[in-house]
Homo-oligomer: A and B are copies of this chain.
Amino acid sequence: MKKKLNIGLIGYGFMGRTHSNAYHQVKHFFDVPYDPVLKVVCGLVEEEAKAFADKWEYKSYVTDWHKVIEDENIDVVEICVPNNMHAEIAIAAAKAGKAICCEKPLALNVSQAEQMVKAVEEAGVPNLVSFNYRRVPAVTLAKMLIDEGRLGKIFHYRANFLQDWTISTEVPQGGMGTWRLDVKAAGSGVTGDLLAHCIDTAMWHNGPITDVSAMTETFVKERMHTETGKVEPVGIDDACTFICHYDNGSLGNFESSRYARGHKALYTFEINGEKASIAWDLHDLHRLSYFDHSDESIVRGWRSVHVTDSDMPYMDKWWVPGLQIGYEHSFVHQAAEFLQSLADGKPASPNFREGLATQYVCDAVLKSAKNKKWETVKKA
């Protein structure tokens, strides 16, 4: 019998569901070293917490997150609440000796992020930031190809994250589902919510970003706040574009917007190297585009790789070639990696310090946009 590992989930929104599903599915598909047990879920509204616990087979529910931290039976704390709550909970969990998986971005701002890193490092607890897109098989495959040197020297790494769901001025700020538009809860707009993903993957693939020149815009200046019921100024960035240098000499170009009509969640990246190029997009996450200059010229072209064969990252665990997986699988893979790292006693990645590195880039981006200057990125 495998050792049981008790999970405490804080937050029952969108991310609460992805994490819960991951712990259910991971044991059916992966040979994980622990048997994860969904012990307790915590949410503010009791009725909803109870309904969530019923639906997702949690053994109990609470409405005060301190109870999860204080519960000696809990081994792992999953932090799936708005960004402004990450630091307080994570620091408490670290002090209580829990392993922590925290949703991205790591924190509301750099200062909180630094405290969180300090807390987990001092406590010596396992810590992970949930940059789940690293675990999409095609994205992991890209990392493998780069690490094998197949691209040669890299010249360009670009990424976009485009959405269109906030174009209507009727969308409110604040509250369940729309807290991402409230600067007090989110810290920033697309920079922390979407570009943070792009930046994490980019630095994983291509190394540190050294300096940035950015531009942000808030297209809708005022929105109804669901908590006050009043129309209030919007404090987040609706769109953010930045150019940058990487430590390895390559050039970066990033853009995110929630005003890109026609795109729902179009996270894309493209990497151009001396010998080969790679492109990917989240709207067809099971494919990787690959161009290999060493192909014979008359049959050379971008290859659309259907990342479903059993020799692809993670794909030996699922179905048969040609049968694609979807979004939530990235969380299942993350859970599998996290459980394995707990058993091995090796740090999972990206840990809080890596999450801080991304936070430094986001911070430099926002500062550059404000000051209309190039900003150097602090090293984590």
Residues of B contacting A305 in the complex (Cβ-Cβ under 8 angstroms): 298-301
Given contacts A155-B239, A262-B293, A284-B284, contact A306 B301 (CB under 8 A): yes
- Which B residues lie within 8 Å of A12 (CB)? none
Interface residues of A in 30-60 (CB under 8 A from B): 55-57
Q: In the complex the two chains form, is B272's CB within 8 Å of A260's CB?
A: yes
Copies in the complex: 4
Across the interface, name the chain B residue whose C-beta is closest to A276. B261
> Which residues of chain B come closer than 8 Å to A219, judged between CB atoms?
155
Which stretch, A75-83, A86-94, A98-106, A263-271, touches the partner chain B? Answer: A263-271
Residues of the B chain whose Cβ atoms lie less than 8 Å from the Cβ of A298: 141, 144-145, 305, 309, 311-312
Contact (Cβ within 8 A) A327 B321: no
CA gap between A321 and B258 in the complex, in Å: 13
Binary contact readout A227-261 vs B (1 if CB under 8 angstroms, 0 otherwise): 00000000000010111010000010101010111
> Given the complex of chains A and B, what is the CA–CA distance between A287 and B306 in angstroms?
15
Shortest C-beta distance, A329 to chain B (Å), equals 7
Q: Which of A21-29, A107-115, A333-341, A343-351 contacts B (4 or more CB under 8 A)?
A: A21-29
CB of B14 within 8 A of CB of A28, answer no
Q: A322-B282, A327-B323 are in contact. Are A303 and B299 (CB under 8 A)?
A: yes
Q: Which residues of B contact A303 (CB under 8 A)?
A: 295, 299-303
Q: Closest chain B residue to A259 by CB distance?
A: B155
Q: Is the CB of A322 within 8 A of B266?
A: yes
In the complex, the answer to whether B274 meets A251 with C-beta atoms within 8 Å is no
For the complex, is A131 an interface residue (Cβ under 8 Å from B)? no
Residues of B contacting A197 with CB < 8 Å?
none
Cα distance A203–B251 in the bound complex, in angstroms: 25
Q: Is A261's CB under 8 angstroms from B277's CB?
A: yes
Given known contacts A141-B298, A241-B243, A306 and B264 CB-to-CB distance under 8 angstroms: yes
Question: Is A352 an interface position by the 8 A CB rule?
Answer: no
Check if A222 is an interface residue, CB within 8 A of chain B.
Answer: no
Q: Which of B141, B214, B255, B285 contacts A324 (CB 8 A)?
A: B285
A272 touches B257 (CB 8 A): yes
- CB-nearest residue of chain B relative to A216? B251
For A282, list chain B residues within 8 Å (CB).
322-323
Residues of B within 8 A of A165 (CB): 321
What separation, in Å, do the CA atoms of A302 and B328 have in the docked complex?
Answer: 25
A217–B321 Cα gap in the complex (Å)? 23
User: Chain B: which residue is nearest A261 at the CB level?
Assistant: B277
**Which B residues are CB-close (under 8 A) to A327?**
319, 323-325
Task: Report the Cα distance A152→B299, complex, angstroms.
Answer: 16
Task: Indicate if the CB atoms of B272 and A261 lie closer than 8 Å.
Answer: yes
| Cα A374 to Cα B371 with chains together (Å) | 10
A25 to chain B, nearest CB (A): 8
When distances are taken between beta carbons in the complex, the residues of chain B under 8 Å from A262 are 272, 276-277, 291, 293, 302
Complex contact B291–A323 (CB within 8 A): no
Q: 9 shortest A-B CB distances, which residue pairs?
A: A265-B322, A264-B322, A262-B291, A326-B326, A301-B305, A301-B303, A323-B327, A264-B321, A155-B259
For the complex with contacts A25-B25, A214-B243, A283-B322, 18 further pairs of A-B residues with Cβ separation under 8 Å are A18-B319, A155-B257, A156-B239, A156-B259, A158-B255, A163-B322, A215-B243, A261-B291, A263-B272, A263-B277, A263-B322, A264-B323, A282-B323, A290-B299, A298-B305, A298-B312, A301-B305, A323-B327
7 CB < 8 A contacts A-B: A164-B293, A263-B277, A285-B324, A290-B301, A298-B305, A304-B304, A319-B327
